[in-house]
Amino acid sequence: MARWRALIVLSVTQFLMVLDQSVMNVSISQLVEDFDTTVSWIQVVITLYSLVMAALMITGGKVGDIIGRRRALVIGLLIYGSGSALTAASWSVGSLAIGWSILEGIGAALVLPAMAALIAGNYEGTDRVTAYGVLGGMAGAGIAIGPILGGWATTNLSWRVVFVGEVVVALAIVLTSGWIADVASKKRPQLDLVGAVLSASGMAIAVLGVLQSSTWGWVAPINSPVEPFGFALTPFVIAAGIALLYAFKLWSAYRVRRGLDPLIDFELFRITPLRAGLSTFVAQNTVLMGIFFALPLYLQIVLGLNALDTGVRMLPTSIVMFAVSFSGALLLKYFGQRTIIRIGLGVLLVSGLVLLGTIEPTLDGFSFGLGMALLGAGMGLIASQLGNIVLSSVDADARSEAGGLQYTSQQLGSSLGVALIGSIVLTGLGAAFINQIEDDPDVPAEVTADVEVALSSGVNFVAADDVAANAAEAGLPPETVEILVDNYEDAQLLALKAGLLAVIGIAAIGFLATGGLPNRRST
């Protein structure tokens, strides 16, 4: 039992790290109301949380190598707990972003790579496979409990209660961190501050471009602050982010030539299983967070369900993911690792298709539940193998760096999922609404023109009742208001379907990365 005490502490840590996003996703409508803001701003806050983690994860892993993995875990938890406390007390979108997105993101960027290295250092062989399966299961538990806990708290108390609880849990982990045997790096590296700035800013700027695409436009400008050569700012911002990442690679090569430690040893990317595993992580988390952003919009804003009912509807994903994630060691007796992950991606494709068929004016509870259960099964199959593949592909000295890359890829996928799918849904909503009313002979031309002007400053995903209220306030006759609302409701469904189609495409693209995964089975 003593050898598993470290896993207990690290599993609770994993649970804490996952809980936030699933809590926030079912509370979108309440956050909009509490802070008198829009879905677009909450999308920014959710994306920023994942982005801060992605941008700082590699640096966080390197800090763990320098100061010690267990110490990095403890310091990260203290920062995370401080962020949770500020989130619980937040009074504006700005304070919410500082507490939740920034402080918690910084804390998690220290905690997660240290956690991955500590697992790899404390367990070997079959025990390590079991340990990563447990972590995957705890991630599933966080996703499972998050929607229900967040939904119940939001509906009956306040979403803030969850973050008060997080402070208590973070302190409890700090107090029991002595159960974890520290795993020191054989070589104490130097921290590459220039590389840290280049990598963080490159990822941040590229994702910012994706996030703002629904406002600025992808190519043709919609509400772009500047219009270089007559185009929207979006592709130029994304290109600037990519250019900074390329500059980071060149800088890292320069440091290596001078005999200095780079932030990332790009030689690691020559390891095929590592490269394939990281790419698969990006695809997996883009799919998961894209769905977890789009479906609450459907359940809460289109269908009018409260946060608790939303959590209940999403529960099958969590339960099934929790159960399947623990099956890693058992599955390896019958299938190779690559085969299991490919089956998982195939299940994700089927899940996306089933969910796509449920986006209708009324909810088909059975089909929706089946789609969510399949989503959990696919995610669980992937989670049961992928972490072990990534960490086992490098030697002990590189595990903290590989852990940082693993969580960077996960959080980059998460931030891209919310930014990209959110952009597709919002852009699709505006385009579909305009097309609907332009093609409707019962909508006067002057009303269509007014709607186009209103949408030119940006699109918000709001309830149909809000559209009706705004149209009536503008003095439109009741019959025109009714026609506008009918068209808007159709546009909402089309936009959400477009988002899910994109998710299905991303899951399909994920297969391309799996060729480099090993296909080992346990003996």
DSSP string computed for 437-454: HHH-TTS-HHHHHHHHHH
pLDDT greater than 80 at residue 239 = yes
pLDDT greater than 80 at residue 160 = yes
Question: How is 173-217 classified by DSSP, letter by letter?
Answer: HHHTGGGSPP---SS-PPP-HHHHHHHHHHHHHHHHHHHHHHHH-
Confidence of residue 454 (pLDDT cuts 50, 70, 90): low
For residue 185, the model assigns a pLDDT of 64
Confidence of residue 144 (pLDDT cuts 50, 70, 90): low
Per-residue pLDDT tens for 71-121?
889 999 999 999 999 988 988 888 988 998 899 989 988 988 888 778 777
- If one compares 480 and 173, the residue with the highest pLDDT of the two is 173
DSSP E strands, 370-445 = none
354, 370 Cβ separation under 8 angstroms: yes
Per-residue pLDDT tens for 347-398?
999 999 999 989 888 888 899 999 999 998 998 888 888 877 887 787 766 7
The pair of structure tokens assigned to 83 is 């962020």
Question: How is the chain split among helix, strand and coil, in percent rounded to 5?
Answer: 80, 0, 20
Residues contacting residue 39 through CB under 8 Å, at least 6 positions apart: 28, 32, 297, 301, 426, 460, 461, 462
For residue 483, the model assigns a pLDDT of 82
The segment with the largest mean pLDDT, out of 15-24, 195-204, 401-410, is 195-204
The pair of structure tokens assigned to 86 is 């500020």
Question: How is 325-369 classified by DSSP, letter by letter?
Answer: HTTHHHHTTTS-HHHHHHHHHHHHHHHHHHHHTT-SSS--HHHHH
In degrees and rounded to multiples of 5, residue 197 shows phi and psi of: -65, -45
User: Scanning the structure block, which residue is given the tokens 């789009």?
Assistant: 294
C-beta neighbour count of 156 within 10 angstroms: 11
Report which residue type is found at 142.
G
For residue 79, the model assigns a pLDDT of 95
Q: Return the C-alpha torsion angle 289, 380, 282, 192, nearest 10.
A: 110
The mean pLDDT value for 244-266 works out to: 87
The pair of structure tokens assigned to 498 is 């477009």
C-beta neighbour count of 370 within 10 angstroms: 17
For residue 208, the model assigns a pLDDT of 81
Per-residue pLDDT tens for 212-237?
777 787 777 777 777 888 888 888 98
* Helix count and strand count (H, E) for the chain: 19, 0
What whole-number distance in Å separates Cα of residue 441 and Cα of residue 450?
16
The mean pLDDT value for 405-418 works out to: 81
The pair of structure tokens assigned to 482 is 């009714």
For residue 351, the model assigns a pLDDT of 92
The mean pLDDT value for 27-53 works out to: 78
Report which residue type is found at 346.
G
C-beta neighbour count of 242 within 10 angstroms: 15
- If one compares 327 and 13, the residue with the highest pLDDT of the two is 13
For residue 397, the model assigns a pLDDT of 67
Helix (H) or strand (E) holding 167: helix 160-175
User: Scanning the structure block, which residue is given the tokens 């477009």?
Assistant: 498
Q: To the nearest whole percent, how much of the chain has pLDDT over 70?
A: 91
pLDDT greater than 60 at residue 479 = yes
454, 464 Cβ separation under 8 angstroms: no
For residue 350, the model assigns a pLDDT of 93
For residue 318, the model assigns a pLDDT of 77
For residue 416, the model assigns a pLDDT of 81
In degrees and rounded to multiples of 5, residue 446 shows phi and psi of: -70, -30
For residue 439, the model assigns a pLDDT of 75
Residues contacting residue 125 through CB under 8 Å, at least 6 positions apart: none
Name the pTM for this structure. 0.80
For residue 26, the model assigns a pLDDT of 66
For residue 523, the model assigns a pLDDT of 52
- If one compares 269 and 122, the residue with the highest pLDDT of the two is 269
Question: How is 9-29 classified by DSSP, letter by letter?
Answer: HHHHHHHHHHHHHHHHHTTHH
- Start-to-end Cα distance in the chain: 25
* SS3 category, 130: helix
The mean pLDDT value for 420-433 works out to: 82
What whole-number distance in Å separates Cα of residue 31 and Cα of residue 425?
19
What whole-number distance in Å separates Cα of residue 347 and Cα of residue 493?
24
CA contacts within 13 A on the Cβ side of 478: 0
509, 289 Cβ separation under 8 angstroms: no
What whole-number distance in Å separates Cα of residue 71 and Cα of residue 314?
36
For residue 458, the model assigns a pLDDT of 61
Per-residue pLDDT tens for 509-520?
888 888 888 887
What whole-number distance in Å separates Cα of residue 298 and Cα of residue 463?
10
